[in-house]
A and B are shown apart, each in its own frame.
Chain A
C-alpha cells in the first residue's frame, strides 16, 4: 500500500484505526527511498532492517490492544547530528564517520516512546555549519524540486527527505536558520522552538547558546504533532526549561481575527528578491483577509545580526569542537607521532574547510588581545538585537517576513565565497540570537517552479500562536499540498 503520500496526522490515524499497519507504512517510504534517493541523496544512513523491526514490534503491540502513542507507526528521519543508539551518527564529517553512539538523544527517546519508527539519518553541512548542505563531508544533497538546486542547510537532508515523501517527518537542528531555510527551499514547514523548549541532550553541540532541535513537516498540523512529542523538560540538559507543554495540535484552529502582525521594514529592503517579496506580501494579504491586522515595525539592529552571529557562533564552536582529538572516539590520523601531532593531524584530516574556517575564526575572536573587540562586543550587540524584539512584541503578536532572500540557489553558486553564503541567513539568524521561536512555511513558487517560504517569529514560549497563524494561512492556500516531481538529471 502506498502510504507515503499521507500526512503524519493522517497516517497515525490510519494505523490507529488499523486500516494500515506500521510495517506497510515503513515499506512504503523504503520503496520511495529506493526509487528517489540515488538522485536526491537525503540519507546518510537508511536503517531498513531496524525500521522494519521497530514497525513489526509496533504492529504486535497494536495486536495486543495496546496504544502506540501520538506517532504510532509514523516513519521519522533524524538529522545525523542527533545521537541514535547503535546507529552511526556522523555529523556528515569524516572525523565522526565511524562513530556509533552508545545512547539515544532525549528527542530520540521521546520519538521512540511516542511510537515513531526511526527510519535513518539525514545529510547536513558538516557539524551543521552551512546553508546549502554542500559543506557535507560525505556528499551533496539535491533539492527535490530541481536537482541542480541546493536544498538549503544545514538540515538539507531532513528537508529533502520530507519534501520528496521519503519520510513522514524529520528532525532538524537550527543554530542560525538551519531548519527554517531548508524548509523554505524544499517547500515544507520547519519550526525552530524557543531556546530551552526542546532538550539538546544528545545533539552534537555546535553553538550551545543558539542550537535548538525542531520539526520538519509537510504541513502545520504535522509540525504541531511532532513538536508536541519533542517538547518537555529534561534534567540531562541544564538549559531545558521546566514549563508546561501546550497541546499544539488542539490549539491550531482558533481564529486569528484581531491578531497584530508586524512587518519589519529591515527585512523587506535591499537584497530581497522580487519574487520572494511578492509572494510574502501576497501571503500577508491572505492573513489580513482572515482578520489579522498588520503594521510596519523596526528591528533596528538587524543589519548587525550576521556579523554578531558569526562571532558568537564560531567562538562557541571553537570550544565545542575541541573535543575531537582522536582519543576517545572518531577518526585518528595515522600520522600521529606525539600528542600534539595526534591532535593537529587528526583535525587537519578529519575536518572540512568550513569547519576549520569557523574554528579558526572563533579561536581568533576569543584569543588574547581580540576578545574584547570581537567576542565581547558581539555579545553586547546580541543584547541590542534581543531588545529590538522585546520592543516589537509590545506592539505586535507575530512578526512576518521572508525566510530567505532568494529562491533556492544553484548548487555550486556560493561555495567559493563563505561570506556570501553567510548572508543567505540574513533573515533567520536574529531569532537564534534572541532565543525566540519561529517557523517557515510555503507561500508560493517562483517563475521557475521553485518553492518560496515565509517566516513567522514569535514571543518566547508562544509557538502556539505562530502555529495558529500558520494554520490559518494553510487553510486558505494549497502551496503545502504540492509535491515535487523528482526527475532524473
Chain B
C-alpha cells in the first residue's frame, strides 16, 4: 500500500476546498491508498524517450479576430445565482 497519512488527506481536502466528515476522511484515506498503490505500477516503465502528451491533436494556439460580439445579458447571467442583489452576485465579505 502506498503511504497516505491522515494529514495528507486533510491537506488535499484543504487544497480541493472540500470539507470531509470524519467518516469520509477514514474511507478516503484507505481508498486513496489503494488507488495510489495500483497506479504505482507506472513506475515499472521507462519513459525517458516519451515526451508527456499534453495535447491530443498536437500543441497549437487557436486565434480569432478580436471583434466585439453580443454577450449574455445581465439578467440572464444572474438568473442562476444562488444569492444576488440588483445587479451583482452576493458573497460573504472577503475583506474585513
Q: Which residues of A contact B (CB under 8 A)?
A: 98-100, 102-103, 195-196, 209, 235, 238-239, 241, 301, 303-304, 306-308, 310-311, 318, 322, 325-332, 336-345, 347-348, 351, 353, 356-357, 359-361, 363-364, 367, 373-374, 376-384, 386-387, 418-419, 422, 433, 435
Contacts and interface: CB of A to CB of B under 8 A. Distances in A.
Given A241-B57, A307-B38, A379-B52, A361 B32 contact: yes
Contacts of B89: 327-328
Among B28, B38, B39, B57, which residue has the most Cβ atoms of chain A within 10 A? B39
A486 B63 CA distance: 51
Chain B, interface size: which category? 35 or more
A418 B80 contact: no
A340 B91 CA distance: 11
B50 A360 contact: no
Interface string B15-58: 11111110010011001101110110111010100111111110
B45 A304 contact: yes
Nearest to B37: A419
A20 B43 CA distance: 60
A367 B12 contact: yes
A383 B53 contact: yes
7 contacts: A307-B42, A308-B42, A329-B80, A330-B82, A348-B18, A364-B12, A383-B51
B46 to A, nearest CB: 9
A383 B57 contact: no
Nearest to A235: B64
Given A348-B20, A361-B35, A361-B36, 20 more contacts: A102-B80, A235-B64, A307-B39, A328-B80, A329-B82, A342-B91, A359-B16, A360-B13, A360-B18, A363-B12, A363-B15, A363-B16, A364-B36, A380-B50, A380-B53, A381-B47, A384-B50, A386-B53, A419-B35, A422-B35
Contacts of A347: 16-19
Contacts of A336: 92
Nearest to A318: B16
A89 B64 CA distance: 29
A103 B51 CA distance: 38
B80 A330 contact: yes
Contacts, number: 156
B87 interface: no
A418 B31 contact: yes
Contacts of B32: 357, 360-361, 364
A463 B50 CA distance: 28
A148 B45 CA distance: 41
A329 B28 contact: no
Contact of A376 (B11, B41, B52): B52
A377 B40 CA distance: 10
B35 A380 contact: no
Contacts of A379: 52-54
Given A328-B80, A332-B82, A347-B19, A435 B56 contact: yes
A104 B77 CA distance: 14
Contacts of B20: 348, 356
Given A307-B42, A377-B42, A383-B52, A329 B81 contact: yes
Contacts of B56: 195-196, 209, 239, 435
A384 B47 contact: yes
Given A102-B79, A357-B31, A382-B53, A304 B47 contact: no
